């Protein structure tokens, strides 16, 4: 994850860019007004409204004050929506609101309009001696008229914001955003054309026998979540030093200060500079990000389902909606070939061993949570069986279907122990057996 990508996820980044653009446009239009004599045909003069010094100051002051006031009001609403979403659907989903381009653009437009009007307002002044009643007054008419256009844009943005914030708190919108993020993460980490080239197939895939005993550990310098690993840079570092780097963590793993991030072998080639270089390629942060952490994207939808089943919410239909979206992402993941855990240099020498989270683990984590929290909800348990069948039909590997068969048995056992009516138990058992037959036929 690059520095620019991290910046793009910051709530302040787009508003800051728009404010910078407002400063540039304001200074440019003021310069044009000061240095260029605008001559327009008569019919076009109506487009350039000239109101004089007093009128310009009043217009610019009104635009600056109103834009800042509306910005404060609209984002008080946003904070209230964030609090509601956090309590209802889970605090981790706030990240999706913070990275939402619509919310960022609305704040940016209002603040940029305020800054633009303020800069143009300060340029309206007398040229020469301020005490001279005949002193010429400079009024940047072009810049003032552009401020009026920005005020009109502010009205349009306000209407958009009301629609956008109302739409963004709907459960279908929240789930769709997380589902799309899950799909993007799968496409990024598990592309369709992933595979092993001839060099990798012919190379030695085995790790050194005494890697655990002889490998020099790379320790974390702070607690937090592993958010990204710069694979290409790590491979280049290992190739240049002539060593093997075996990662002990993957994105999404929480580490303590002093935890082992990786082992470097052979020990004779390892120095402090190399350990620092390897450590710098592994980013540890306070919060998780789905850019390389696919389990975080899955966890957000799983949390949405689990919180919907809490006694205070008791909304099985939201849980079913979340499981449907999970089945979409997990089915896509189950279709993909898993990347090799081995990375080779240009000479075919194994340089990096990097573990990853696959469809087997992620599917099990989802179904385990359903079994723990949804056993008393027949509708959600049926949705879990539907997820199993969808993923099973898409699975490209036997290991995924084998784990799904185990999960069906566990789901059926949990349903039987949940004190349901005999009819419901028999119906669920019949659907479970149908799922088993479908999985074994594939």
Q: For residue 311, how far is the Cα from the chain centroid?
A: 29
DSSP strand pairing (244-247 vs 350-353): parallel
More confident residue, 339 or 350: 350
Percentage with pLDDT > 70 across the chain: 90
Contact 349/269 with Cβ under 8 angstroms? no
**pLDDT at position 197:** 42
Cis peptide before 279 (omega within 30 of 0): no
Alpha-carbon span 184 to 177, nearest angstrom: 11
Domain boundaries in the chain? Answer: 3-169, 292-337+357-441
Q: How many CB atoms lie within 10 A of CB 174?
A: 25
- 3-class state of residue 243 by DSSP: coil
In which residue are the tokens 């049926």 written? 382
Entry pTM: 0.77
Instruction: Dump the DSSP string for 22-72.
Output: HHHHHHHHHHHHHH------GGGGGGS---HHHHHHHHHHHHHHHHHHHHH
**pLDDT at position 199:** 42
Q: pLDDT category, 127, cuts 50, 70, 90?
A: low
Residue 211 is encoded by which pair of tokens? 């890697």
H-helix or E-strand spanning residue 285:
strand 282-285
Render pLDDT for 207-232 as a digit per residue (tens, 0 to 9).
877 788 888 999 999 999 999 898 88
Q: pLDDT category, 347, cuts 50, 70, 90?
A: confident
Instruction: Report the residue count for the chain.
Output: 442
Residue 84 pLDDT > 80:
no
Alpha-carbon span 389 to 368, nearest angstrom: 16
Identify any residues that bridge with 226 across adjacent strands, giving them in sequence order: 284
């Amino acid at each position: 994850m690059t520095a620019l990508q991290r910046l793009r996820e910051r709530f302040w980044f787009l508003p800051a860019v728009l404010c910078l653009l407002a400063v540039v446009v304001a200074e440019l239009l003021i310069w044009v007004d000061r240095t260029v004599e605008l001559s327009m045909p008569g019919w076009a003069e109506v487009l350039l409204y000239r109101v004089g010094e007093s009128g310009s100051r009043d217009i610019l002051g009104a635009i600056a004050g109103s834009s800042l006031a509306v910005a404060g009001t609209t984002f008080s609403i946003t904070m209230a929506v964030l609090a509601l979403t956090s309590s209802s659907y889970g605090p981790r989903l706030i990240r999706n609101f913070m990275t939402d381009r619509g919310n960022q653009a609305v704040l940016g437009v209002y603040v940029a309009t305020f800054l633009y009007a303020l800069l143009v307002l300060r340029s309206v002044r007398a040229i020469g001696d301020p005490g001279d009643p005949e002193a010429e007054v400079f009024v940047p008419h072009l810049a003032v008229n552009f401020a009026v256009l920005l005020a009109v844009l502010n009205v349009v943005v306000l209407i958009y914001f009301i629609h956008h914030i109302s739409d963004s708190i709907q459960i279908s919108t929240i789930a769709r955003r997380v589902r799309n993020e899950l799909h993007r993460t799968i496409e990024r980490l598990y592309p369709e054309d992933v595979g092993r080239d001839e060099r990798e197939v012919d190379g030695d895939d085995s790790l050194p026998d005494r890697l655990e005993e002889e490998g020099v550990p790379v320790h974390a310098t702070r607690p937090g979540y592993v958010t990204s690993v710069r694979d290409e840079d790590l491979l280049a570092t290992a190739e240049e030093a002539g060593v093997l780097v075996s990662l002990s963590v993957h994105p999404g793993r929480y580490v303590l200060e002093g935890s082992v991030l990786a082992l470097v072998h052979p020990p004779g080639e390892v120095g402090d500079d190399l350990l620092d270089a390897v450590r710098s390629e592994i980013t540890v942060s306070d919060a998780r990000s789905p850019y390389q952490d696919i389990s975080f994207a899955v966890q957000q939808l799983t949390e949405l389902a689990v919180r919907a089943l809490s006694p205070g919410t008791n909304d099985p239909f939201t849980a079913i909606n979340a499981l449907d979206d999970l089945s979409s992402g997990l089915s896509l993941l189950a279709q993909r070939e898993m990347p090799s855990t081995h990375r080779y240099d240009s000479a075919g020498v194994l340089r990096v061993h990097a573990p990853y989270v696959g469809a087997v683990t992620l599917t099990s984590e989802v179904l385990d949570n359903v079994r723990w929290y949804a056993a008393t909800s027949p509708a959600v348990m049926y949705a879990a069986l539907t997820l199993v069948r969808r993923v099973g039909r898409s699975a490209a590997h036997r290991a995924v279907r084998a784990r799904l068969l185990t999960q069906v048995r566990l789901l059926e056992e949990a349903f039987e122990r949940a004190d349901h009516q005999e009819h419901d138990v028999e119906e669920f058992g019949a659907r479970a057996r149908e799922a088993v037959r479908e999985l074994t036929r594939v």
